[in-house]
Amino acid sequence: MSNTDEIALQSPSNDLATSGLINPNEAGLMAPPPIHILSALLTMSLDQLWSGPLPEFIQKIPADWTARTYWEGSLILLIALLMFAVAWGIQHFLAKDDNKQAIVKALVLAIIVATPEYTTSGIIGTIFMAWSGLSQVRLNNIPFMQK
């Protein structure tokens, strides 16, 4: 047995699509999403705070306009920093992105979460979660999609 045969047998996966020998689209797989599914789920869940609890909390603060603006700005910053830290960890350690890619993706997700509108992350999060789920499906194994 040659060295290449031993390496092929010792590899954790002999699947041609995951070994990089063929194009994933030719194997019937979708390309993986740029954002990890946990990052998309976290984006949607943190941004859900803007649809109910946070505006109600800010309105109940018995203060003048400047104090409410201070509280709202502080909450936006806190949520954005939380999203950045957790999304960077997910992208860097779970999705195996290099540090620069993880920082850029975490920064974009933090900006999305920091906007006080739920529709932004709801649409983007749904797209990435669906993409992540569909990328795991082998299209050749679905009877109605076979050639």
Question: CA–CA separation, 22 vs 14, rounded Å?
Answer: 12
- Each residue's pLDDT tens digit, 64-73: 878 888 888 8
82 — pLDDT class (breaks 50, 70, 90): very high
Domain limits of the chain? 33-136
128 φ/ψ angles, rounded to the nearest 5 degrees: -70, -35
Distance, in Å, from the CA atom of 40 to the CA atom of 27, rounded to the nearest integer, reads 26
pLDDT of 143 higher than 90: no
Tokens (6 digits) for 7: 């390496």
CA of 115: how far to CAs of 36, 77, 104, 132, in Å? Answer: 21, 10, 17, 24
Q: Which helix (H) or strand (E) holds 48?
A: none
Name, in order, each residue with C-beta under 8 angstroms of 10's C-beta and a sequence gap of 6 or more.
Answer: none
- Return d(Cα 102, Cα 88) in angstroms, integer: 5
Does this model's pTM top 0.75? My answer is no
